[in-house]
Amino acid sequence: MSILVDERTTFIIQGITGREAVTMTRECLDYGAKVIGGVTPGRSGRKVHGLPVEDTVKAFTSRERVDAAVVSVPPAFAADAALEAIVAGVPLVVIVTERIPRKQVAQIMEVAEKYGTRIIGPNCLGIISPGKSRVGGLGGQAESCARAFKPGKIGVMSRSGGMTVEIANSLSEAGLGVSTAVSIGGDPIIGSSYAELMPLFDADADTEAIAIYSEPGGRAEYELAEYMAKSGSTKPIVAFMAGRFIDEMPGMRFGHAGTIVEGKADTAASKIINLRDVGITVAERIGDIPNLLKEKLSQV
């Protein structure tokens, strides 16, 4: 098992003729993912790496099953692209584009809820279930991706795409491997938070524990703590909280758009206390995550 994607997942890439999307398409195909084509308005009839390009998402959904769509278009057009996929009935939309205006992101989430579509992102690298499939650019080239993401029993969630790879690589080197890794996105508003993905990991027999990379700013960690307290989830979680040095710098932002400390509740210190109160282990160093997970799994 896995969550969100597996070896049967078919998907399209919106903005497929763009430079970054062309590279992403090649990397996904090399990994064995089932990319069935892409969308760029006005480019119907062209091909990218042998895959058909259509003007609309509906051109694909009207003739075949489309399990997911990756939105890789400029910020000015990203909301329209995401809404097009949602209305066309695509159940999973991964938005890799960053710098989408918050108002537009909020509109995407509202429409997605109405249509029952799950959103990952914006400002994310995507999802990978090692040995099965990947949807998005997470992991980069197929060879390096296979080294970093080895099949295993740890679920990974991270606000940083790069740190998703870093954590997965450390888990693979430690012999734990990864069941599914999700780059959830670093923007202030995202489609699927830790708490919203946890029920999927809890229900996944292949996931025995979870590793999380987190940052100051926002309420995602508090929502996770609330979920853990109310759900009775027993799967071990080890988290790493980055950016502790900005706790004394209210209003400052480092890195992601969502990493903004506006008050005490946004600080790393406050979040760490909250996570530990519900039994989540918080690593002092990111390299400690594999050994801490091994310790927690040995106690289960």
49 is an active site residue = no
User: Among residues 271, 206, 213, which one has the least CA distance to residue 235?
Assistant: 206
User: Among residues 242, 243, 185, 193, which one has the least CA distance to residue 220?
Assistant: 193
In one-letter notation, the amino acid at residue 255 is G
* Active-site residue, selected from the candidate residues 132, 134, 159, 256: 256
Instruction: Tell me which H or E stretch contains 68.
Output: strand 68-71
Q: State the virtual CA torsion across 80, 182, 197, 238 in degrees, nearest 10.
A: -150
**Residue reference for tokens 């909250």:** 274
Give the separation between CA 178 and CA 171, rounded to whole angstroms: 7
Q: What token pair was written down for 260?
A: 């903004």
Q: What token pair was written down for 205?
A: 């027999």
Give the separation between CA 229 and CA 253, rounded to whole angstroms: 30
From residue 293, give the alpha-carbon distance in Å to each of 127, 181, 186, 253, 273.
21, 16, 24, 30, 19
Question: How many CB atoms sit inside 10 A of residue 113's CB?
Answer: 13
- Of the chain, the end-to-end C-alpha distance in Å amounts to 21
Q: What token pair was written down for 299?
A: 């106690």
Residues labelled as active-site residues: 256
